Structure 1
Amino acid sequence: MLSKEEKKNLRIEFWNKLEKQLENITNPHGSKVKWMNYNTSVKHLYFRMEADEEGARLCIDLQFPDDGIRSLYWEQFLEFNNILTEKFKDLIWIESFEHTNGKTVSRISVSKDGCHLWNRDDWDKMHLFLKINFKKLDEFWTEFGEVFVNLK
């Protein structure tokens, strides 16, 4: 069993390694991207990477304080369901999700199960999963993000 400190150190090492791998990956226009702090240009709309004992996830989190606005953005993402499903296949759509930060969000995610953050042997497949899928999400956002930006 790992101590709290060991888990903290593994978590830091995992994300630092991934950040290093992502630093030379550009967007479809050839521009550098801040993958770890992705700018959607929409306040309260976040692209998040998660890794834990259950696996790795890439998430679109709609964290708008106003339920009506969150619902509007949710409906807009549903309009792109076919395009998103074509890119990601096994999307998980949760309209009301209790985030670890205590906020209720709407979440669209794709996950890689069967791997574990505390097992370094799983890191390569977790990193690869996150890189491949974040690149797909960036391609989607580059093409269609303006639709969501204009909802503001």
Structure 2
Amino acid sequence: MYSRAELSKIRTDFWIAFGLYMKPVPNAQGRKINWPNYKTGIKDIYFRMRAERGFASIGIELGHSDPELQELFFDQFKELKNLLKGSLGEEWDWQLHAQNELGQTVTKIEKILPSVNVLEKEDWPKIISFLKPRIIALDEFWDNVKPGFEDY
């Protein structure tokens, strides 16, 4: 069993390692970017990467407090579903009004890698190999579609 401090340190170490691994990779506009803390630049639209015990995930999270606005954003993303799938090269799970780990209502478009554990260093290469191409693809997709979300 790990203490709370040990768990926090292992998770922090993973994200530092991921950030260092991704540091030489520019974003779609050729600029340096802090990949682990990706900023979409649009309020209430987040790109979330998680590495936990049992799974890793990456996704788009729509976190507006108004469920109707979440649904509006979700519908906008549905209009772009083929473009998103083309950028990612795979189908992701779409969940309107799901609960996040804090019990808040959010809408998610995500991909999950099961059966990995961030606490096991031997799983880190699998997790990084899962996250890297997807966050790069999301960035390229977002570079093309972000202007359509800037009026909200």
Same fold by TM-score greater than 0.5:
yes
Residue range with higher mean Cα deviation, 63-72 or 30-39: 30-39
| Partner SS for 2:49 | strand
In 2, distance between residues paired with 1:63 and 1:109?
14
Residue 141 (structure 1) aligns with: 142
In 2, distance between residues paired with 1:88 and 1:117?
25
Q: Does 1:13 align with 2:13?
A: yes
Residue 43 (structure 1) aligns with: 43
Return 5+ residue gaps in structure 1 as ranges. none
- Runs of 4+ more than 4 Å apart: none
Per the TM alignment, residue 55 of structure 1 is displaced from its structure 2 partner at its CA by 1.7
Residue 99 (structure 1) aligns with: 100
In 1, distance between residues paired with 2:62 and 2:24?
28
Return 5+ residue gaps in structure 2 as ranges. none
Per the TM alignment, residue 38 of structure 1 is displaced from its structure 2 partner at its CA by 1.9
Residue 120 (structure 1) aligns with: 121
Structure 2 contact 26–33 (Cα < 8 Å) conserved: yes
Residue 3 (structure 2) aligns with: 3
Residue 131 (structure 2) aligns with: 130
Structure 1 contact 92–110 (Cα < 8 Å) conserved: yes
Residue 69 (structure 2) aligns with: 69
Structure 1 contact 88–110 (Cα < 8 Å) conserved: no
TM-score (norm 1): 0.92
Structure 1 contact 58–111 (Cα < 8 Å) conserved: yes
What does the per-residue CA deviation read over 1:132-151, in whole Å, with 9 as the maximum and x for residues that have no partner?
1000000000111111223x
| Partner SS for 1:54 | strand
Q: Does 1:57 align with 2:32?
A: no
Q: How many residues align?
A: 151
Q: Does 1:108 align with 2:109?
A: yes
Residue 85 (structure 2) aligns with: 85
